[in-house]
Copies of this chain bind each other. A is one copy, B any other.
């Protein structure tokens, strides 16, 4: 837990310099644009503790996974998005003395991330060992308009001397990766060139062969007047740069505008990368820093129009929720279906920047309600692209006939994790992907997507489920043995209720989807049947129907709750309140076997199913299960509190709902788990958003209709959220004992408010007294 970030409605502010939290700040102040991202490292050299991090989406390296004991079927590597070209670097010398905040006396310092405009500013006054003082202002952004470009304005002002200031803007590809097994380097040099005012560097990742070319150019001004100093040029395979020395009078501002363009082989042919990057950086320079920045900021303003949440009377909460929305939008933009959302986004290297079920279960609901449907659609297309690999993955495990098992962890569709109890057994991720398809279609009505992509995926997943269950004579039903549910504090269990439930649901929904596509697009339907060799459709579907009817989903006689898995009720069932405080979190204090045989639940499991399939259950059932399971839940996944918050809201447990909301809303800003230095918890940020919109706001989409049931947490004076539904942007405000719904679009919206149907014309608003 830390408390050094100043509270502010729109800005993240670090008011002074503390090297001890520098790694944390580097994560918090990260900027990105969905295509590349950059930790908040300093431009000038810094010899203190830092995790230099510049990440290009989709550029990964397959690191060999080493474990003591290999199991058949394990993947050969763990993919990771690797650190790439340092494009922000500007070394600074003052009369031959290097500027380095680790060796200087830092007299003033602030780092500010303006989330409204997407611009990061750092200001400081440093006294060098010689006693010379300089003021520096560094402003930078990664453009969300010109998405290949980053730009920096770096100003140095001598405060107590006049003398030569030397600036060296450079590009460096000789970078380290924090989680390299043995300090491996992952890049091989390709081309490099440097000339006065411009440089280019390209490299290739080992094994994967991605190319990345980065170009830079710059302009220099003195008190705003252009300078044309002749640089010294350095042109080495992994390092190119210009060095410019300039006499600067005391009080004069020497400003370097540095422009960068990052072009990877995802977006250009290898042999066009150099030209593309140079052209891009030239265009950026031509446009100029101020124009680039203004366009970028305007685009951010538009994003906020779609997705903002306002909270009145609680600046910390306001800052927290905007921070989360900001980073969700920095991480994924939906422009490229080959990309996805790593648990740390572009803010660190932990979890390797690869894709988990977090995307479908947490990320997708956020983008569905805050962005154009095409954004969420791209996330689904990503999985469709990986269908063939998912089928191969299932084959590797002994499945056949087009059964698809999506990986637990992936970057390219191949599994890249290596704990058997996760990789082989935590198969509910397959269900999350099927549910995401439903979720998307339910929100958007885009059944054409089903025909084009979704149905094939559903067929593959349903085939997997139908092969993964087996008939148990003893149980007189279908059982699913040897799985790990969302609760990873139990492994290798039988008949995890959530997994059986989502499997059954998938089988049923796939039948619906088959019917939908058959009706709407018979030609495509026939094509899919042919492609998937769905020859014996009737037999297959009959088997699915049989499984749906007969899969075991036991209810406990005594308590009436759904049984988490076969052995759960044999456990000692004691609430987590009985655990001594000193033993939290239990995963740091208890041995793994003790955790496994305890009743303690890491994150929503039965309740995750109740959250997804809420409509099937009456309030009493939801309450019964919530009251039974939540007290045994330790919430040691950042993905847990949000689901509980939404359900608590649903049950009218308003205090609890708020308590759970708080647990993740400032998770990173306050470094709650002491791990923000590794990067931000991007996917759980979406969960926090869900706690507000689905929880406090009660937003649901049922049968394609939006419904709202808002309340206001006692701690707040008011709040408002913006979402888009069926192409209509709306704003829901809750304050002063009333809910106001505003149709900000250009067509009418039919929705439900507290169960009542409402028809709201374009531009109109509606006020409802609570």
Question: A interface vs B, CB < 8 Å?
Answer: 65-69, 71-73, 78, 182, 396-398, 418-421, 424-425, 470-472, 474-475, 479, 481-482, 491-492, 494, 566-567, 569-572, 587-594, 596-597
The reply to whether A572 and B470 form a contact with Cβ atoms under 8 Å apart is yes
Interchain CB contact under 8 A, B474 and A569: yes
The smallest C-beta distance from A426 to any residue of chain B, in angstroms, reads 10
With A66-B66, A481-B570, A481-B571 as contacts: A590 and B72 at CB distance below 8 Å: yes
- Distance in angstroms from A625 CB to nearest chain B CB is 18
Q: Which of chain B's residues have a CB closer than 8 A to the CB of A481?
A: 567, 570-571, 596-597
The 4 closest A-B pairs by CB, nearest first: A424-B593, A73-B591, A482-B597, A71-B592
20 intermolecular pairs with C-beta atoms under 8 Å apart? A65-B68, A67-B68, A72-B590, A72-B591, A73-B593, A182-B182, A397-B593, A420-B593, A420-B596, A421-B492, A424-B591, A424-B592, A470-B572, A471-B572, A472-B571, A479-B570, A481-B567, A482-B593, A491-B492, A566-B567
Report if A425-B593 is in contact (Cβ < 8 Å); known contacts: A68-B67, A68-B78, A69-B419.
Answer: yes
**A441–B481 Cα gap in the complex (Å)?**
43
Contact with A398, one of B397, B419, B420, B590 (Cβ below 8 angstroms):
B590
| Interface contact A570-B494, CB-CB below 8 Å | yes
Distance of A567 Cα from B566 Cα, bound (Å): 8
Partner among B397, B570, B591 whose Cβ is within 8 Å of the Cβ of A474: B570
Candidate in A72, A73, A475, A593 with the most chain B CB atoms within 10 angstroms: A593
How many copies are assembled?
A: 2
* CB contact under 8 A between A594 and B68, given known A471-B572, A479-B570, A570-B481: no
Please report the C-alpha to C-alpha distance between residue A72 and residue B594 in the assembled complex, in whole angstroms. Answer: 10
A596→B68 contact, CB < 8 A: no
A571: chain B residues at CB < 8 Å are 470, 472, 481
Closest chain B residue to A565 by CB distance?
Answer: B567
Given contacts A72-B591, A591-B397, contact A570 B419 (CB under 8 A): no
Q: How far is the CA of A481 from the CA of B569 in the complex (A)?
A: 12
Report the nearest B residue to A479, measured CB to CB.
B570
Give 13 A-B pairs besides A72-B592, A491-B491 with Cβ atoms closer than 8 angstroms. A66-B66, A66-B67, A67-B68, A68-B418, A397-B591, A420-B596, A424-B593, A470-B571, A474-B569, A481-B571, A481-B597, A492-B596, A494-B570
**CB distance B396 to A591 under 8 Å?**
yes
Which chain B positions have C-beta within 8 A of A65? 68
Find A570's partner among B71, B73, B472 (CB 8 Å cutoff).
B472
Contact B419 A592 (CB under 8 A): no
* Cα separation A271 to B72 with both chains bound (whole Å): 49
* The residue from B420, B424, B482, B570 contacting A475, defined by CB atoms under 8 A apart: B570
Given known contacts A481-B570, A597-B481, is B474 in contact with A588 (CB within 8 Å)? Answer: no
Complex Cα distance, B566 from A398, in Å, reads 25
Q: Report chain B residues within 8 Å CB of A475.
A: 570
CB of A582 to closest CB in B, whole Å: 13
Q: What CA separation (Å) do A398 and B73 show in the bound complex?
A: 33
Chain B residues closer than 8 Å to A78, beta-carbon distance: 68
Indicate the member of A68, A491, A571 with the most B CB atoms within 10 Å: A68
Residue in contact with A594 in the complex, picked from B398, B419, B494, CB distance below 8 Å: B398
A557 to chain B, nearest CB (A): 10
B residues within 8 A CB of A491? 491-492
Residues on B with C-beta less than 8 A from A398 are 590-591, 594
Contact indicator B567/A494 (Cβ below 8 Å):
yes
Chain B residues whose C-beta falls within 8 Å of the C-beta of A470 in the assembled complex: 571-572, 597
Bound Cα distance from A707 to B527, whole angstroms: 75
Q: Are B591 and A419 in touch, CB under 8 angstroms? A: no
What is the CA–CA distance of A398 and B472 in the complex, to the nearest angstrom? 37
Q: Is A68 within 8 A of B419, CB to CB? A: yes
Nearest B-chain residue to A417, judged by Cβ: B68
Contacts of A588 in B (CB 8 A): 72
CB distance from A90 to the nearest CB of B (A): 38
Q: How far is the CA of A151 from the CA of B566 in the complex (A)?
A: 63
* Closest Cβ–Cβ distance, residue A305 to chain B (whole Å): 42
Chain B residues near A594: list those with CB within 8 A.
397-398
Q: How far apart are the CA atoms of A199 and B588 in the complex, in Å? A: 53
* Alpha-carbon distance between A424 and B594 when the two chains are bound, in angstroms: 9
Report how far A588 CA is from B72 CA in the complex, Å.
7
Closest to A475 in B: B570
| Residues of chain B lying within 8 A (CB to CB) of residue A593 | 73, 397, 420, 424-425, 482
Question: A410 CA to B479 CA in the complex, in Å?
Answer: 39
In the bound complex, how far is the Cα of B571 from the Cα of A587, in angstroms? 31
Shortest Cβ gap from A562 to chain B (Å) = 16
Across-interface contacts of A569 in B (CB, < 8 A): 474
**A396: B residues at CB distance < 8 A:** 591
Residues of B with C-beta under 8 A to A589: 72
CA of A589 to CA of B479, assembled, Å = 24
